[in-house]
Structure 1
Amino acid sequence: MQPMSSSAVKVIDLIVPIAMEPHLFATACLLFGRIMLTHQTQNHMNPVTTLLFPPRGPQMFPCLTYMERNVRVDCEFPPTYEVPGPYCEYRQDSRLVGSTYPNAVIYVSTEDRRRSNVSLVTPTLCRLTWAPMDDEKPYTYTCRVYQGTEWKENSMAVHHSE
């Protein structure tokens, strides 16, 4: 085994910031996007516990897009090689607003289909883009990820403001 060269260290140094980018972006959105996150289930651990024992379920990051004023909720989940999947769906309170699961779109109302978009951005990142009405009330958004034979979910309450 050969010792690691300094160029290999530089490549790794370049990879690490790219891997952390969604978290930094989510922080910027929370600070500047005027979204108030009131609670998130499954992540009631302190930072030390989270570092030592990372969560195994989906993690959610909300944002209010600047130009369109859309609510965007990213749901990041661990990679898997289980088949079928991964698929994801979003619920607003208990109402299904979008899904990547085949044939699930028939369960989404026509109005919700016009206002929402759910997509797998990467193999480990599901995104909801929701066009809120002017008088939109706060909602609890739930991201459900199907991997292999089971669903894992996480919820958060989001209130967007002008």
Structure 2
Amino acid sequence: MVQLNGRVDARVLDVAGGTGEVVKLVCKLADYNNIDGLDAAKGMLEVAQQSGLYKEIFHTLFTINTGLAHDTYDAVICCGGVGPGHITLDGFQEMLNLVKPGGYVINVMRRLYTLEYPGYKELSPMLQQWESEGKIKLLEESVFDGYFPGYEGITTVFQKL
């Protein structure tokens, strides 16, 4: 697990955050108090807003240019937002843009997409290329069972250099 140097005030963006279920889990690890949420589903964000989980909420699609300030966040997290019909691999460039140098990008998605879907099979090679170019340090690419009933998940963590 990425540690943000014990800083509960670390600035975090939850991409495709929906109602904030992932943030609830993250806040069990530490009492983070500076998390913003972004999602295209207004109804889900309204639920999240009522819970008080997010400091700021952005109702928008996550694209190559979200309109958010670059080099702003200590970490960007995304769980279940990357996949067909949702965020494309181009979204990883925007995640990289949004984190400060030294910041982290943490993504969790269905592994099947990286094995069978054009446009997602390129995730690992793209990250390896970024690492060879000195843009990132790849910290983790791990597969796990039980992401979704009958499906493995893959967690990818990298640090912006």
Q: Same fold (TM over 0.5)?
A: no
| Structure with greater strand share of residues | 1
Could you tell me the TM-score, scaled by structure 1's length? Answer: 0.31
CA radius of gyration, larger in: 1
Could you tell me the TM-score, scaled by structure 2's length? Answer: 0.31
Which structure exhibits the higher relative contact order, with contacts defined as CA atoms closer than 8 Å and separated by 6 or more residues?
1
